[in-house]
Amino acid sequence: MGDEGLMSTEPGRAPRLVIDPADYAAVYAIGDVHGCLDALLELEDMIREDALSTEGRKLIVMLGDYVDRGPKSAAVLYHLTASPPSGFERVCLRGNHDDAFLAFLDGDPAGDWVLDHGAETTFASYGVVMDGFNLPTNRFALREAIRNAVPSSHVEFLRSLPVLLTLGTDVFAHAGLKPGRPLSEQTDDDLMWIRRSFLDLGPGLPVRVFHGHTPMREAHVGPDRVSLDTHCYRTGRLTAARVVAGDVSILSVG
């Protein structure tokens, strides 16, 4: 996207982005993709058609989890590192799977989490077959193989992703917020990994949170949170929320 947003980066924290909500006539937030490129392309076509009825600038917000579990993680990252759909600007947020994949590439032991949570499909999409390595003995060899297979543009893309987008009283994060904690004090782990306390208590702040992370059969639209992960890699359903003048509508494919 352009230079209109204010990006803040502090040492040891992923970036946060603030945009004036008056900059966009329509915002479309898309839930967890998890390697499901075909569904993403179909949903983008639906969004493009839907947006024809709204004059002004439009923004697509990707809520994270682009890799793992689905069949085309590499292709999804190629798509997201290219230009957004014609007539749109786009912000991509970092999900916990994206963060763990980056940690694995960086050699952080915390990144080994992906090995038990769908990484085999991500690696296969880059031409690396995880079953060909004797794990855990050959974990180093597996890491070197995937490092050599993943383009530097994908690594740089993942590293650059913000974990929070604020547009007025609407905020966008992959997993949610720590209830009652000011936005300035939310940690990366809060924003990418939180689940139960946020779902039970809500944000505890005067904001409405658009998030994915926790799969649901149907999108949830409430006064303080909008949940958009509809388990695309299992159900084939990928979901977006359209926000126009504060009103939320749901678009879905699959």
Residue pLDDT, tens place only, 150-177 = 999 999 999 999 999 999 999 999 999 9
Q: Which of 29, 114, 122 is nearest to 75 (CA)?
A: 122
The number of CA neighbours under 13 Å toward the Cβ of 196 is: 0
In-domain check, residue 185 = yes
The pTM assigned to this predicted structure is 0.95
In-domain check, residue 30 = yes
- Show the domain range for 39: 17-253
Q: Could you give the number of structural domains in the chain? A: 1
First-to-last alpha carbon distance for the chain, in angstroms, is 28
In-domain check, residue 7 = no
SS3 call for 40: helix
Over the stretch 90-140, which tens digit does the pLDDT of each residue have? 999 999 999 999 999 999 999 999 999 999 999 999 999 988 887 777 888
In-domain check, residue 80 = yes
CATH code assigned at 208: 3.60.21.10
Over the stretch 172-223, which tens digit does the pLDDT of each residue have? 999 999 999 999 999 999 999 999 999 999 999 999 999 999 999 999 999 9
